[in-house]
């Protein structure tokens, strides 16, 4: 490896100057490598939806855009004049052009990025700025307050409607428990579509809550030797994980010591779940609703739901978490709202969401 490449590798591991100057401890400060990696990922997701973009060149620009800083300090805005910063970095990139394989390509793309005249450069500059703001959101969750000055700075520099809308949605901080980069990449995938973003976020949170509940109930059923519940929750768990629901999969991944009647338990659990799932919209619905209404009414009186009652409700609703939101029967949504207005929101507006575990007290 050449000396220049060794220096670049060392530079990639360094924390970015802007975070250090904002009191982010060096051990958790974002490195140049992580910043570049996230910018490239954003470019790959965002760029594929812009047909007039030179996609390959755009992604390479994400890789090369900070490369001129490898032997210079990562200057924070205002630390030195833009003219001096540009002169220093151009001298570095000219050296790389002459010393590295593909040096001319690196030089050409970097100059294009710096000049900011092409569509690729205009959008890459915005992704570069936006990445800093997303990282600032993550640091703000950890009570580092000096990072918030990134928000107005970045907002003023975003011109593409998808990027502007994406950042506006993230600034509302509706899902602080979810990594902001996960939300960011999802919004780029959805081209800033707010309604679809909320739908997907609700599904993800609901599924995570369901998985946690299923894990607890699997353990309880195992300890109490309740084979019927143990099988049912194993099936629900596999379904929520997106894995194939087969008896072999249950045996290999969750229940190696399957009892002699294991196939019978499996077939019965599948039949029960399928029965409830397939009969939401037919004559059985009123009977199902009536039975569950009794469960919920009793639960509200006693402020609790028993394990058996919770199981019945989960047979009704857990499978629905696997459906596209548009396919969830309206009856299901209305019925959930009748139990708790916070549990599920209107199909069209999706204005609010509070996770309430099935099996916890009804509010």
pLDDT tens digit string along 273-296? 665 555 444 444 455 455 555 554
Count CA atoms within 13 Å of residue 216 on its CB side. Answer: 12
Structural domain contains residue 131: yes
Least confident stretch, 20-24, 52-56, 120-124, 325-329: 325-329
Looking at the structure, do residues 325 and 208 belong to the same domain, yes or no? yes
Looking at the structure, do residues 103 and 39 belong to the same domain, yes or no? yes
pLDDT band at 99 (very low <50, low <70, confident <90, very high): confident
CA distance 176 to 183: 10
Pick the last residue of a domain from 168, 192, 216: 192
The residue segments making up the domain with residue 173 are: 3-192
Looking at the structure, do residues 114 and 89 belong to the same domain, yes or no? yes
Q: What is the distance between the terminal CA atoms of the chain, rounded to a whole angstrom?
A: 64
Looking at the structure, do residues 175 and 265 belong to the same domain, yes or no? no
CA distance 197 to 176: 15
Q: Which residue has the higher pLDDT, 179 or 207?
A: 179
Structural domain contains residue 153: yes
Q: What is the pLDDT of residue 238?
A: 74
Looking at the structure, do residues 25 and 126 belong to the same domain, yes or no? yes
pLDDT (average), residues 40-57: 97
Copy the structure tokens of residue 45. 């997701």
CA distance 103 to 118: 21
Structural domain contains residue 361: no
Structural domain contains residue 354: no
Least confident stretch, 86-100, 247-261, 286-300: 286-300
Q: What is the pLDDT of residue 308?
A: 46
pLDDT (average), residues 93-120: 93
Q: Which residue has the higher pLDDT, 99 or 181?
A: 181
CA distance 68 to 90: 7
Looking at the structure, do residues 205 and 100 belong to the same domain, yes or no? no
Looking at the structure, do residues 18 and 158 belong to the same domain, yes or no? yes
Looking at the structure, do residues 55 and 142 belong to the same domain, yes or no? yes
* C-alpha to C-alpha distances, 33 to 72, 103, 121, 198, nearest whole angstrom: 15, 19, 20, 31
Looking at the structure, do residues 203 and 185 belong to the same domain, yes or no? no
Question: Average per-residue pLDDT in the chain?
Answer: 75
Q: How many domains does the chain have?
A: 2
Looking at the structure, do residues 253 and 298 belong to the same domain, yes or no? yes
Structural domain contains residue 232: yes
Pick the last residue of a domain from 140, 168, 192: 192
- Give percent above pLDDT 90 in the chain: 36
Looking at the structure, do residues 86 and 226 belong to the same domain, yes or no? no
pLDDT (average), residues 12-32: 90
Q: Which residue has the higher pLDDT, 355 or 65?
A: 65
Model's pTM, two decimal places? 0.66
Structural domain contains residue 359: no
pLDDT band at 272 (very low <50, low <70, confident <90, very high): low
Q: Which residue has the higher pLDDT, 231 or 330?
A: 231
pLDDT at 342 over 70: no
Looking at the structure, do residues 72 and 186 belong to the same domain, yes or no? yes
pLDDT at 173 over 80: yes
């Amino acid at each position: 490896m050449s000396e220049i490449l060794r220096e670049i590798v060392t530079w990639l591991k360094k924390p970015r100057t802007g975070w250090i100057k904002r009191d982010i401890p060096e051990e958790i400060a974002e490195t140049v490598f992580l910043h570049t990696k996230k910018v490239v990922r954003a470019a790959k997701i965002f760029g594929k939806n812009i047909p007039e973009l030179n996609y390959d060149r755009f992604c390479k620009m994400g890789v090369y855009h900070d490369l001129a800083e490898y032997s210079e300090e990562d200057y924070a805005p205002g630390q030195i004049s833009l003219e001096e910063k540009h002169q220093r970095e151009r001298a570095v990139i000219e050296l790389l052009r002459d010393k590295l394989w593909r040096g001319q390509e690196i030089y050409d793309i970097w100059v294009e990025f710096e000049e900011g005249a092409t569509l690729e450069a205009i959008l890459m500059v915005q992704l570069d700025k936006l990445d800093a703001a997303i990282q600032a959101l993550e640091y703000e969750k950890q009570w580092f307050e000096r990072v918030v000055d990134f928000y107005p700075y970045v907002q003023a520099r975003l011109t593409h409607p998808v990027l502007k809308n994406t950042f506006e949605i993230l600034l509302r901080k509706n899902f602080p428990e979810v990594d902001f980069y996960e939300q960011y990449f999802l919004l780029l995938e959805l081209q800033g579509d707010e309604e679809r973003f909320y739908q997907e976020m609700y599904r993800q949170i609901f599924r995570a809550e369901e998985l946690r509940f299923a894990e607890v109930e699997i353990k309880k059923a195992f300890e109490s030797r309740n084979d019927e519940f143990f099988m049912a929750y194993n099936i629900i768990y596999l379904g929520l994980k997106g894995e194939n629901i087969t008896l072999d999969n249950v045996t290999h991944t969750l229940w190696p010591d399957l009892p002699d009647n294991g196939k019978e338990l499996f077939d019965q659990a599948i039949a029960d779940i399928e029965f409830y799932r397939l009969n939401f919209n037919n004559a059985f619905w009123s009977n199902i609703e009536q039975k569950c209404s009794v469960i919920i009414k009793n639960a509200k009186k006693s402020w609790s739901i028993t394990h058996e009652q919770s199981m019945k409700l989960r047979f009704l609703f857990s499978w629905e978490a696997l459906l596209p939101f548009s396919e969830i029967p309206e009856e299901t949504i209305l019925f959930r709202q009748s139990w708790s207005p916070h549990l599920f929101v209107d199909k069209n507006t999706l204005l609010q969401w509070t996770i309430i575990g099935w099996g916890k007290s009804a509010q």
